[in-house]
Each structure stands twice: as structure tokens, then as C-alpha cells.
Amino acid sequence: MATRGKKRKHYPRLPAGFGSIRYLGANRRNCYAVNPPATVDALGRVQRPKALCYVDDWFKGFSVLTAYKAGTYKPGMEKELEVKETRDLDALVTRILADYGTIKGVEEKHPEIHEPTFAEVYEDFYKWKFDSPKGKNLSRQCRDSYKAAFNNCAPLHDRVFTRIKAPELQAHLDSVKLKHSSLELIVMLYRQMYKYAIISEICTDDKSRFVSISIPDDDEHGVPFTDDDISKLWTCKDDEDAQMILIMCYSGFRITEYKSLTVDLNEKYFKGGIKTQAGKNRVVPIHSAILPFVRKRIAKHGCLMPVSTVTFRKGFAAMLARYSVDQSHTPHDCRHTFSMLCERYGVRENDRKRMIGHAFKDDVTNAVYGHRTVDDLRAEIEKIQIPMPEAHL
């Protein structure tokens, strides 16, 4: 019977910006790679420099990094290092701190030692996320969301990033008197910045995972359009703006989700969703009554919503005024209208939840085993009737 090898010893975690000592496997004579800290180029891309050397002992690697950070490392010096048998971790930690005191005098030689502020990390993160080839495909709305979240973090801007504690992040979030959706953007920024900071070896811990929004989600509050309002919108169905409002009322996505929806005109369904686990990548069949509007917008604009959601929101009241519809409605009320129509026309409750993107909190059977095809959902959504004779369509 084969015996298991001894577990590899866990060594102390090195401070952010110190560099790394990577274990390469037991089959190598020099099984530790000693790497200087990663850097970030002008585009925010993480650059990992090649190893300074390879050694057979973690403590040798630590000694190399210590010398490198102090500006005294010379190639080949690792061959002359000896490791003592006594390895006192307390002494090691003391040595790290003492070395960092020495390092402060050589920051010009090693600029990576500089402790960046929250604002500086954000600037590099923004380049990393949006100036890369992949990031250039992200929408302006996505960029604007991160900028807005950063602006709402003003009290943190001048703080050294690695010294901000999780309770301080939480305290800042709790102090922001904005809607739940704005707080969600701040939490998203926290998480993305820490992801970048860990990749860039600025820090080692994701403190954002301890942060949560303490106020109730106000996103699901709204007022559906009345029957009279819906009838007026159908009367103006030749108007392009009215068509978009009707699309929203008969599909139930959040306004921000229409910017990135997948529209399959062959199979006649929408697919998307960005907010919750239950709402992501959900499928909603395109109701036959709005299918002509969808085809027209895709043919003309290449997407459902060619303008920014900010622009659409600002012009929403003026659109409703043109149709003599109650101007107090918001775009989110279209989502509530869809939910109301589903209930009125007998759409199965579980299918209504699936299409709206609500979780099955107390219904494990439907959450796990309630698989439904697009045709199943189409049969349900087609139960919804429109308040006009077919001859007028």
C-alpha cells in the first residue's frame, strides 16, 4: 500500500508588495521560485517579472527577497546562503518588520514599495478592466457605473488601500444615503478592486467579502400601469418609444438588463439578467404581440435599447405625456406591469417567478427539479392578452 507523502509546511504569508516565494513541486532540486513583486503597466495590465532565482529552501528565498527589497541583492548570492536549524517564526515576523523599516529609505529604487491609496488602486483597476482588449467591449454604461460608485466612495479616496479594514468598508457603505441599487454598485466596486488588488499582489485578503448592504432592497417596489394606461400605449403602438415601453411591459426585465439581452429572433426568446443568481441568464419567450416591435428595433438599431438607460429614464415622463399616460410611472413599473399581467391571466406562479427572476426561497423542488423548456414558458406567456382587437394589430 502506497504511503502518503508528508504534508508541505505552511510558511508565513508575506506582506503585500514584498514579492512571492512559489513552491514548484517536490521533484525539483530547487523547488522554490523567488519572484519580485508584480507591477502594473500604463494600461493597467499586471506584469509578473521573471524569478530572481530558484532555491531549495523557503527561508533562503525569504532572505533573497529581503536583500532585494533592501537593494543589496546580487545575482548568485543565494548559493552562499546557509539556513540555520532553528526557525523561530516570531523572530521571522520581527525580521520582516525590521526589513520593512529599512526598505522605507529606498523607495526611489523600488517604487513598488509605495503603498497606494484607494484612489490610486482604482485608477490602475480601471485601466486593467476597461483598457484591455476584452474590456474595450464593455459598455459605456458599465464604465459609468464604476465611476459613479467610485465617486460615492470619496471618504476612502486618500486612505492607504491595504490599511482599510473590513468594518471601515462596512461603515462607509452604511453611511451612504442612496438607493439600494447605488449601494449594490459600491459593493460591486469593492469586490472588483479587491480582485484586481490580489492579482496585482497589492494585498492578499479580500475584505469586501465581509461587506453587505444593511437596508432592504427597494428595487421590487413599484406601481403597475393601469388597464387604461396599457390601452393608451397600444393605441400609440406605431410610435417607437411606445413600442419599447410595451416590450418592457410584456417581458419583465429590469431597464439595465435590456442593454445586454440576447435576442434570439429564430427561437423567439430573450435571454439575460444581471442582478441576482435567480435572475441571471433567465429565458423569457417573446410574446407574439411585441415580436414585430422587437424585430423592428433589432433591424434598425442592432439592439433593443440604443440609448443609455440614464437618457431613457430622463425622457420617460415626456414619453408618457405624449400618450396621456400617468407621468409618475418609472421604467421599473413596466416590470411590475408584467408581473401583474402574469397573475391576471393565470400564468403559473412558478413560471412567473422564473421569467421575472425571483428565487424559489422555500420551494426546493421547483428550484432544483422544476425544469421548463422555452415552449413550456411560451405557452404560459401567450396566456397574456392585449387590450385591443386583433384587427387593429
Please write the tens of the pLDDT for every residue from 149-173: 999 999 999 999 998 999 999 999 9
Q: Examine the fold and report which residue of 182, 210, 238 is the final residue of a domain before the chain moves on.
A: 210
Query: Any idea what the CATH number is for the domain that residue 343 is in?
Result: 1.10.443
Q: Which three cell numbers mark 296?
A: 423592428
246 and 361 assigned to the same domain: yes
Arithmetic mean of pLDDT, 43-72: 81
- In this predicted structure, which of 32-46, 68-82, 296-310, 311-325 has the lowest mean pLDDT? 32-46
pLDDT category at 131 given cuts 50, 70, 90 is confident
pLDDT at 89 over 70: no
C-alpha cell at 198: 490580489
> Facing residues of 52 across strands?
none
Whether 219 maps to a domain, the answer reads no
pLDDT bucket at 289, cuts 50 / 70 / 90: very high
Cell numbers standing for residue 36? 519580485
Confidence tier at 392 by pLDDT (50, 70, 90): very low
* Domain span at 176: 118-210
Asked whether residue 276 falls in the same domain as residue 311, the answer is yes
Query: What is the pTM for the complete model shown?
Result: 0.48
Long-range contacts, 153-158 (Cβ 8 Å, 24+): 153/118, 153/186, 153/189, 156/118, 157/117, 157/118, 157/119, 158/117, 158/118, 158/119
CA–CA gap between residue 237 and residue 15 (Å, rounded): 63
State residue 284 phi and psi, 5-degree precision: -130, 115
> What average pLDDT does range 78-95 have in this prediction?
62
Q: Which residues of 56-83 are buried (b: 16+ CB within 10 A; e: fewer)?
A: ebbbbbbbbbbbbbbeebeeebbeeeee
- How far, in Å, CA of 12 to CA of 327, rounded? 62
Q: Helix, strand, coil % (nearest 5) of the chain?
A: 50, 5, 45
In a domain, 177, yes or no: yes
Contact (Cβ atoms closer than 8 angstroms) between residue 380 and residue 348: yes
Q: For residue 326, what pLDDT is reported?
A: 92
Q: How many domains does the chain have?
A: 3
Is the residue at 13 inside a domain? Answer: no
- Is the model's pLDDT at 75 over the cut of 50? yes
Query: Are 78 and 164 in a shared domain?
Result: no
- pLDDT score recorded for residue 365: 41
Integer Cα distance of 97 and 89 in angstroms: 12
Residues 82 and 137 in one domain: no
Mean pLDDT, the chain, integer:
82
What's residue 157's pLDDT? 95
- The pLDDT-based confidence of 22 (bands split at 50, 70, 90) is confident
Q: CA torsion angle for 297, 299, 300, 303 (degrees, to 10)?
A: 60
Does residue 217 form part of some domain?
no
Indicate if 246 and 364 belong to the same structural domain: yes
pLDDT over threshold 80, residue 386: yes
Note the pLDDT of residue 16: 66
Residue 6 lies in a domain: no
